[in-house]
Structures are given as C-alpha cells and as structure tokens.
Amino acid sequence: MGMLAGLIVTTLIESLALGPRPMTCAFPAAEPPEATIHVALRARPSLKDLPGLYRVELRVDDDDRLNGSAQPIASTDTPDILVRGSRGTSVHYAIGIDAEGRAALNIVWPETARRPERRITRTGRCRNHERYIRDWTG
C-alpha cells in the first residue's frame, strides 16, 4: 500500500473513532475553587507532516477543539514531547509530556488593549500516552 493510500485509510479510521484512543491529560488546580483542566490529544495525520513535527488535535475541557503540533523535545535524554496549539492570537497552549505520562501545561492569554497578559501553569498526568510518545519521538 502506498504512503498516500495508507494515510487516507488511517485518516478515515481515526475520523470514525475506530482508531487509537486519544491521549488524555488531567491538570488539577492548586486552589480548590478552580477546576481541573482536561486535555485530549489525537493524531491528525497529514501530508503536510514533516519528520519530527506532527499535526494533532487538542480538545480542552470537551469544549475547545484546536489544531496543534507535536514534536520531540531534543534537549532531553528521554523520549519527551512538546505539544502546542492556539486559538488564533487569543490563547496559546503548550504541554510537555514525558515517557511516564507526567505533564506540564502552560496556557497564555496575550496582553491586549483591554487586559494584561494572563498565564496558568499546572502539572498533571496523561493516560494512553505510550503509543503517541513512541510515534512522535521515533
């Protein structure tokens, strides 16, 4: 099967939810009134993928679907990945995930004329991460 045919079959299977389960991450709040932030990540294979840079879909708290990218973190000795996504220029997400599923989330709302910059940083855990770490670092 050619590369294009394989990509089309993979895309069809994953779009019908027959593909692999998404990687799911939970980032609990440090302060009790704030809610846990949940993020689900799915591979979105594309002909535009480059070696070391993969397209992904981020789903934040089941509301916000964003296109993003995943790439290996070259400065570490272990297979770690960095996932980035944004909603235009209004909010930017970055998630670092290690081989054991430990994760750090950083959300930035850039400064605008109406509000100052706002940042949230949390640590958490990811499940179903093994396949994605292997695919995105290998």
Task: Considering only residues 18 and 71, tell me which one the structure prediction assigns the higher pLDDT.
Answer: 71
Q: What confidence category does residue 10 fall into, taking pLDDT thresholds of 50, 70 and 90? A: low
Q: What confidence category does residue 8 fall into, taking pLDDT thresholds of 50, 70 and 90? A: low
- Are 24 and 103 spatial neighbours (Cβ–Cβ below 8 Å)? no
- Record the pTM: 0.80
The pLDDT, as a whole number, for residue 15 is 55
pLDDT tens profile 61-79: 877 788 999 999 988 888 8
CA torsion 54→69→35→61, rounded to 10°? -70
Mean pLDDT of the chain: 85
The conformation of residue 33, written as its DSSP 8-state character, comes to T
CATH for the 21-137 domain, from 1.10.150, 2.40.128, 3.40.50, 1.20.120: 2.40.128
Domain boundaries along the sequence of the chain = 21-137
